[in-house]
Amino acid sequence: MAEETEVLRSLRIEAAVMEHWVAAGWIAPRGPGAPGYSEADLARACLIRDLRDAMGVNEEGVAVALGLIDQLHGMRRALRRVAAAMQGLPEPARQEILAVLRDLDEGST
């Protein structure tokens, strides 16, 4: 409970606000085995607070912004997986893929 109070104090929000964000699915507590919130969720809570308080973004706007951020993180994970898979390929295959990507890039301009 003291940790929760400290989190709320550091975020400068009330417990009801945090409960609302959890209910909305914007952040998630770790669970019974590991109480509290992850660093990512605390950073997300700071972003939500800033969007709502400093920028005046409404609930729908916050949901859209968080959805876009989640998509961006998903794409970054996917790109890291592709890069890791490419590292496991023989050099000629990597060069062929890079050539195809360059051709695609040149075709889109």
With pLDDT > 90 as the criterion, what percentage of the chain qualifies?
81
pLDDT at 72: 97
Residue 63 CB neighbour total at 10 angstroms: 14
Q: What is the DSSP letter of 36?
A: S
Type of residue numbered 106:
E
Angle at 57 between CA 30 and CA 44, to 5 degrees: 20
Structure tokens given for 51: 């969007």
DSSP state of 33: T
In this prediction the pTM is 0.78
User: What does the alpha-carbon distance between residue 65 and residue 39 come to, in Å, rounded to a whole number?
Assistant: 19
- Residue 97 binned pLDDT confidence (cut-offs 50, 70, 90): very high
